[in-house]
Amino acid sequence: MKYWMVLWLLIATVSTAAPRNQGQPGEFDFYVLSLSWSPTFCLTHPGNEQCSGKGYGFVLHGLWPQYARGGWPASCAPQSRLTDEEMDKGAALFPTRALLKHEWAKHGTCSGLEPLEYLDKTDAALGVVAIPQQLQPFNTPPSLPASEIEALFRESNPRMGNHGLAVICKGKVLSEVRVCLTKDLAFAGCPRSVKSQCRGGDIRIPAQR
């Protein structure tokens, strides 16, 4: 009896923390705006068109519907291909068209919005978050503690609370910043499922290419 009780609790915990493979479009609680530090991506993807000497710093990774209890809907039905107009709109936001198509299929379809509406929402979300001057392209220090990166974002975004973003690392290298937003794109406190994932001490900030 105890074995089955423990197994049931384990399954329940995993099911609430893991991403959902499907979901109902529009049924989610908040957004995460994910901003990728492009030079880190380019360390392992030097042949990607994003890494062709454009000098990117933070770039749009995606606008992701999320559940407050943890996890997120993904690849919601019906799946539809983006039109030429939608691709052109998205190409002005995402660093590559391949990333645009991936993000629409995995996350945008779960927003409950039509493609152009989702892209407009993403554009608006980018306008909400100010990138700190110290983290602009060609102006970055070689390393900073993750806590200092968080503080710089809060300083540049006074309406952001103390728990409004997460800094993500790959090893001791800056990878992403994730900002929690309401469905109306106001700053929101991140739940425990969205938390910084960096080691203590300084983390490396690769230079732009």
Active centre residues (catalytic): 61, 103, 107
Question: Which ranges constitute the DSSP H helices of 92-158?
Answer: 97-106, 115-128, 146-156
- Measured CA to CA, the distance from residue 11 to residue 156 in angstroms comes to 41
Tokens of 139: 């102006």
Burial class of residue 199 in the structure, from the number of CB atoms within 10 Å of its CB (0-12 exposed, 13-18 middle, 19+ buried): exposed
For residue 63, list its beta bridge partners. Answer: 33
- The candidate with the shortest Cα–Cα distance to 167, out of 142, 147, 144, is 147
